[in-house]
Structure 1
Amino acid sequence: MRNPSHKGLPPAPDVQPDDRSTSERRAADAEMARVLRTEPFRMALDSSGAGIAHWKHDALHDVVEPMRHHVIMAHKGVMQRMERRSGKSIAIGTFRPGVVNIVPEGSSSRWDIPKPVDVVQLYLPDATLQRVAGEAGTAGTAELIERTAHPDTITSRLLLSAADSLGGHGVLDALFRHQLTDLLATRLLAAHAGSPTTFQPTMGGLAPKVLLRAIERLRCDSEADVSLDALASDAGLSRFHFCRSFKESTGLSPHAWLRQHRLEQAMNILRESDESIVSVAAALGYSSQTAFAAAFKKLTGETPSDWRRRMR
């Protein structure tokens, strides 16, 4: 079945094996910039190219070439029909909140989207997917299934939450992205892999001394590395098992624990000093007063100024 609005469009690309090595393919952010012909609304990338990007782009009628990352998309914008074509295969779906698109590493297809799009994308290196699969005890190589407007409210909600972690607080945002990337990889392995993975419940938390070291690192106000890699390495665990064990011990993820700690620091400063809101934001590592105020209000329901007035 063809959509008559697509008359005169170039034919879909034939599906041919992509014989280029992974390193020869474009990174996901570069390929998306080429196809969408715009700059991302917000984006944060790691050195591997893994990251989160929020795009607002116009209608799209073009071929997405093979990339060296898996790309997972969740939609924020208006509901609309779309087509995704690979050779003679045509997938027709509806963009709306609660659905996801999955573009496995190395795949290529033509996209026809008639209206502007508001979308959050995860760029996931295959090495990260395989690491999480290995840490979870999965046998064999994990391969993602291509999805088009596939209902998955859990993955969609997780990915859309990442849009709030772009540009407010460097340390907190990076820790949240790394934690969320692993969590999304876990979800993809469970729901969108050729051989779905079953994850066993966490058994026990961190040893008391290990937990104390992790908390001391998170509390440190110096330039200490509080990345998920550093925390896990210090505990002698994989990222996957560290996060699960830390939450078992504290009831909070590492990111949530650090966010709560920073909030408590902010409250102490606001209550006990006359420091300006700008100064408090800078002292706690926020990129701006606006970012600090938004984070504070999200957790307390009040702006820093209103909270200070009420507590004095």
Structure 2
Amino acid sequence: MHNRILPSGERRAADAEMARVLRTAPIRIASEPFGGAIAHWKHGALHDVVEPMTDHVVMTYPTGTQRLERRSGRLVALGTARTGVVTIIPAGSSARWDIPGAVDVIQLYLPHRTLERVAVEADMAGVGDLLERTAHPDLITSRLLTSAVEAMDGSAALDALFRQQMTDLLATRVLAAHAGTPARFQPTLGGLSPTALRRAVERLRSDAEADVSLAALASDAGLSRFHFCRAFKESTGLSPHAWLRQHRIEQAMNMLRNTDEYIVSIAAALGYSSQTAFAAAFRKMTGETPRDWRRRMR
């Protein structure tokens, strides 16, 4: 089926259309300045038509099972929402959905321009139409989408960098597994030059207010986002997000060990939204709360 890219006046924002159809608000939604978002919903039974949307919607189901029925003209697709499957609604497509009960779902709203950018950066010939999928087995995409929601650290800079990396990774996966003409990506050979690596590390080590977006890091290195992420990991063994998360926790350890700063002050200095968010991120990395770790070190 051809994915119709409609004039802007005939399309709805994906999150707004989902809110209308699902008759509820998302539990959580995080968007990017240049388009796209990730949202986590829990909704009840659905019997309605989803109108054409601006972005492609890629979704998975972290918990539970539920029957899905999707009708487009005379075509009927049946499936079961469960862990490890994905559903894709291409931009510009429309269908009637009948879902008899409650659903736990994570949705990625993926702008077509993001797919085009990733395709160009990866030296692909072009972007083929995305395939409509209804509860299609794809454990890789399902796990990526689930981690995109679960791995938020409560730090604006860290969370934004993670979403940027995850969106590009998901776009790569969608092009490879869910396009009419599957994409083939050439492996990246070699890491960053010593100068480019030094610049990236300097930016990541800057204060909590510095611009550590993927676009800024890639621009410093003179590379596309696609190639920068792969080259950075080749050089360091970590993604930019994982490197920055580890660096922030190391900074926290030094402050906990060598100063008498309140934990809430350390959290704020490192850019965390709350002491609770900082404590959760610290425990995820170390297995201990900041308070227990400080007590043990002293």
TM-score interval, smaller chain: over 0.9
1:196, CA displacement in angstroms? 0.9
Aligned to 2:243: 257
Match of 1:280 among 247, 255, 266: 266
TM normalised by structure 1 equals: 0.91
The reply on whether 1:190 has 2:173 as its aligned counterpart is: no
C-alpha distance in 2, partners of 1:158/1:16? 26
Match of 1:88 among 71, 74, 78: 74
Identity %: 71
Aligned to 1:230: 216
1:19, CA displacement in angstroms? 7.8
1:200, CA displacement in angstroms? 1.6
> Which range moved further: 58-67 or 300-309?
300-309
C-alpha distance in 1, partners of 2:82/2:44? 16
Deviation by residue 1:65-98 (Cα, 9 ceiling, x = unmatched): 1001010001023112111111111111001000
Q: What is the letter of the counterpart of residue 170 of structure 2?
A: L
Secondary structure at 1:102's aligned position in 2?
strand
Aligned to 1:299: 285
1:48, CA displacement in angstroms? 3.3
Q: What is the letter of the counterpart of residue 95 of structure 2?
A: S
1:20, CA displacement in angstroms? 3.7
Aligned to 2:296: 310
CA RMSD of aligned residues (A): 1.7
C-alpha distance in 2, partners of 1:19/1:196? 20
Q: What is the letter of the counterpart of residue 104 of structure 2?
A: D
Report if the CA contact (8 A) 1:133-1:142 is conserved.
no
Report if the CA contact (8 A) 2:208-2:270 is conserved.
no
Deviation by residue 1:192-249 (Cα, 9 ceiling, x = unmatched): 1111112122211111001100110010006321100111111111000000001111
C-alpha distance in 2, partners of 1:111/1:258? 42
Q: What is the letter of the counterpart of residue 107 of structure 2?
A: Q
Match of 1:157 among 126, 143, 147: 143
Deviation by residue 1:257-305 (Cα, 9 ceiling, x = unmatched): 0001001001111111222221111111111111111111111111111
C-alpha distance in 1, partners of 2:284/2:4? 46
Secondary structure at 1:233's aligned position in 2?
helix
Match of 2:49 among 59, 63, 70: 63
Aligned to 1:242: 228
**Matched length:** 298
Secondary structure at 2:92's aligned position in 1?
coil
C-alpha distance in 2, partners of 1:188/1:18? 18
Distance change (3 Å), C-alpha of 1:115 and 1:207: same
TM normalised by structure 2 equals: 0.96
The reply on whether 1:170 has 2:152 as its aligned counterpart is: no
1:133, CA displacement in angstroms? 1.0
Aligned to 1:211: 197
C-alpha distance in 1, partners of 2:5/2:62? 35
C-alpha distance in 2, partners of 1:130/1:22? 18
C-alpha distance in 2, partners of 1:67/1:161? 25
Deviation by residue 1:154-190 (Cα, 9 ceiling, x = unmatched): 1000000111255711000000000000000111111
Q: Pairwise mapping of residues 39-188 of structure 1 onto structure 2 (< 5 A)? A: 39-166=25-152, 168-188=154-174
Q: Unmatched 5+ residue regions in structure 2?
A: none
C-alpha distance in 1, partners of 2:177/2:281? 32
Secondary structure at 2:185's aligned position in 1?
coil
> Which range moved further: 165-174 or 65-74?
165-174
Aligned to 1:21: 7
C-alpha distance in 2, partners of 1:223/1:295? 19
Distance change (3 Å), C-alpha of 1:264 and 1:274: same
Report if the CA contact (8 A) 1:79-1:96 is conserved.
yes
Q: What is the letter of the counterpart of residue 133 of structure 1?
A: A
Report if the CA contact (8 A) 1:39-1:55 is conserved.
yes
Q: What is the letter of the counterpart of residue 249 of structure 2?
A: L
Report if the CA contact (8 A) 1:43-1:166 is conserved.
no
Distance change (3 Å), C-alpha of 1:166 and 1:21: farther
Report if the CA contact (8 A) 2:43-2:102 is conserved.
yes
